[in-house]
Structures are given as structure tokens and as C-alpha cells.
Amino acid sequence: MPNKDYRTPSIDRDTPQPDIGDKRFSGERFHSTEFMQKEWSHLWRRVWNMGPRVEELKAVGDYVIHTLGKESFIFVLDEKQTIRAYFNVCQHRGNRLVCGERNGKARFFKCAFHAWSWNIDGSIKGVPDADTFPQFKDGIPKEELGLTEIRVDSWGGWLWFNIDGKAGPLLDFLGVLPDHIAPYRMQDMRAYVNATFLWDCNWKIAVDAFNESYHFRGIHPEMMTWSNCDAKLELLGKHSRMINEYGAPSRPHRETMEISERMQAYMKYFGLDPATYNGPAKGARLEKQKLNRQQQAEGSVPHLPYNEMTDEQLSDVFHYFYFPSAAMNIFPEGINTFRYRPHETDPNKCYYDLIMMAHFPEGQAPEQCEHQYYDHKVQYVDMLDPAVEVASFILQQDADNVPEVQLGVQSEGFKGMYLGEQEIRVRHFHNLIDEYLADTPE
């Protein structure tokens, strides 16, 4: 249970940012197959990666298939109510053991190729015509033929996995993030959107696109009328965060009395009526705080943790990045999670996962959120609920731009990334990748 007296700390703008260098990063890291292969051996296998949601595995035999790069994994709830994870591969001839559906329920897993089967605890169940294998003359070597298991842990309602089995404890890897996020009660949220998009860019370009708000001026000019692009930034060990004021425009719109169309959409989404609001545009942020405090006092939204939030948390987006490949836009009402996964073979593509979660009143949470898969050409406003039109509009702009970056970093004329102070999280991320790639795995 979270500490009711704990408050997620803010970020002091006056605290100087650490000096983490000023080197340029070449475009090769975004399109080189050799770089991609080294990331797999030196990075992905060694860290804690975010997997499925815990609530996807409710009953014995429930399973979810999760892919990362060239590998596929089976997450399953076994008879001992333990969640386990295995490489999704048959130990006979290498066929994918579970094909097709992302999730399902099974008493055991049977390979479609030659019908070898495994129990959900990973042990071998059956081999047709086992007596025709000379290797089995003394019996089937059950330990040798068991499914290859990987390490699994959970935090915040998420399953996390480590492939090489050598990472330290999950909570040590996450550092201060569990404390910071505890007041939001993320483990109690439920997903209402679970979607995967194939993007025409390297996974790191997708990460970079969301780890700074310097790009609001270019890609999201409409956001300047209802959110402050002048973010507060902080590095947190391997991870990082930024805080953007919502309901408070950026310069030069800061002092305007005009309530833009996008500001009106923001206000309506959070229960404010722009038709009855007569203050300056920057006052919408305070109106949201006042409304939530009123709701807290009335007890009208007992499912929302407003009493554990600072005023800043009530109105502003706290964006946390979990190294190496997940980020969250965090609000007291819900969390939008972005997960970035490398493509199986092509460094010029990646998978962008969008998992939108919320606190629901008792008895109103969806039973199961169906996973959807889309290619890059989707219109996000068509696939997301109209209620989150503000988010889908922004996502469309980012998704349309990342392929242009991917093309540009492959140009002979590109000399490498210049990164400024507002992009310190981007630099920190790439510095860490280089550290992992320079450190030879044991």
C-alpha cells in the first residue's frame, strides 16, 4: 500500500542540470544492422523490460504472448498461481510453440508441427512416437527438454522480464520511480486501450520524439495554446522525467484571454465548462486544480487518488521515462503508457505500443481490453475514442513525423545530432545506450 503521507516531489527549476557532455550522435545508430545486433546482446538481454499487464493473467492457464525484437515469450499463470515466462519455441525443431493469437487459455501447449507438448509449468508433457528417438532409450530427458524460462517480476500492475537472468532486483533497477508513482495507485488502474502500431522508424527515434517538449513549436503548435512547453527536467539514475503544465499556454500565448479550440477540448475532457469560464487562458490550470479539490471534499470521486496528489499533480502531466524503452504520461485519473520495441530484423522499423489506463468507479472497469494491431498508416482519431481526441491529434502528428526523421538520419549530409539543454533526457538516454554497448556482457 502507498504511504498516504508521501507526496511525489516536484522539480526545482533553479537546480542546475548535470554536465553529461555535448558530443554528437551519428545517424548510424538509427539504421545500422550491426548496431541493432549489438543492442540485442549488450542491452535488451541485460535489462528489465516491461511486458504485459498482470490483470491479463487472471486464471490458471491464461497466457499472453509478448515479443521483443527477434524473440517471442509466453507469459502464463500456472497451477501454483505463479506467473512464469518462457521462450516461445518448441525444443524439437524450433517451431514457434504458440502461434497466431496474442492471448488465450491453455491446459498445456502443443506444437502445431509435430504435436510435441508441454505443461504450463514448462515441463515436457508428451512426445509422439518417443520410442523412435534413440536419444530417449533411457527415457525422455525431461529437464533437458523443458521450455527455456526467463526471469519475471511485477511492479505497478506490470510484468517485467529479464532475459539473461543476471540483472539485479527489479526495484533496484527502477530506482526512485516506484516511490514517485506510488500515490497514483497504478496497480489499481485498468487498460481501456491496448494497441500496437508498426512505425517506419528505429525504436530510439520513437523514444526521442516523446522525451522532450522542445518540439512543440514545430510538430504541435496547437499545444502551445493550452500547455507549457517549458518543461521542468530531471535525470533519475538510468531513468528521467519532465513536468509540463497543462491548462497553461506557452509563450507567446501565456497572457491571452482567448480560449483556443484545443484548450476548450482539454477543459471539457477534464470536466470544466469553457462556456462559463471568463478568466485568462493560463487560469484553466488552476480551475482544474480547484475542481478536483472540490470533488475530493465532496467525496464524489472516491476511486480517484486526489487526496494523495499535490496541486501540481492534479493539473500537470508528469512524464516518466523507464530506461530503455517505456514512458508514461501520468495523471491522477489515468496513465498513458508508451512502449517502444525493436523490429525483429529491420532497424528502420519498430513497434509502438499505446496502453491507456484509468481508475474506474467500482464495478465499471472493463473485463478485458482487446489488443489491436495497426500499421503506420492508421488515422489515430479514427481508432481512439472521441473522448481522447486531444491525445489522438497529438499522436498523429508524432507518428507522421518519425518516418521523416528515419529517412533524414540516413542521409550522407547528416553530420549527427546537436542536442541542447531542453534535450538533456535525449542525451542521457543515448549516453546510457553507449555505456551498455561498451560493456561486454559476462
Whole-angstrom Cα distance, residue 134 to residue 266? 69
pLDDT tens-digit series, residues 129-140: 999 999 999 999
Instruction: State residue 100's pLDDT score.
Output: 87
Q: 3 falls in which pLDDT band (50, 70, 90)?
A: low
CATH architecture of 27-46+176-438: Alpha-Beta Complex (3.90)
Q: 377 falls in which pLDDT band (50, 70, 90)?
A: confident
Instruction: State residue 386's pLDDT score.
Output: 66
Average per-residue pLDDT for the chain: 95
Instruction: State residue 4's pLDDT score.
Output: 64
Instruction: State residue 379's pLDDT score.
Output: 84
CATH architecture of 49-155: 3-layer Sandwich (2.102)
Angle in degrees, CA 134, 140, 141, rounded to 5: 105
pLDDT tens-digit series, residues 90-117: 999 999 999 988 999 999 999 999 999 9
**Please, where in the chain does CATH 3.90.380.10 lie?**
27-46+176-438
CB atoms within 10 A of CB 219: 15
pLDDT tens-digit series, residues 47-100: 999 999 999 999 999 999 999 999 999 999 999 999 999 999 999 999 999 998
11, pLDDT greater than 70? yes
What are the backbone dihedrals phi and psi of residue 54, each rounded to the nearest 5 degrees, phi first? -60, -40
> What's the mean pLDDT in 314-338?
98
Whole-angstrom Cα distance, residue 374 to residue 155? 28
1, pLDDT greater than 80? no
260, pLDDT greater than 60? yes
Instruction: State residue 387's pLDDT score.
Output: 62
pLDDT tens-digit series, residues 383-441: 777 667 778 889 999 999 999 999 999 999 999 999 999 999 999 999 999 999 999 88
**Please, where in the chain does CATH 2.102.10.10 lie?**
49-155
What are the backbone dihedrals phi and psi of residue 32, each rounded to the nearest 5 degrees, phi first? -80, 130
Instruction: State residue 87's pLDDT score.
Output: 99
All residues at 6 or more sequence positions from 335 whose CB lies less than 8 Å from its CB, including other chains: 184, 186, 189, 328, 329, 356, 357, 358
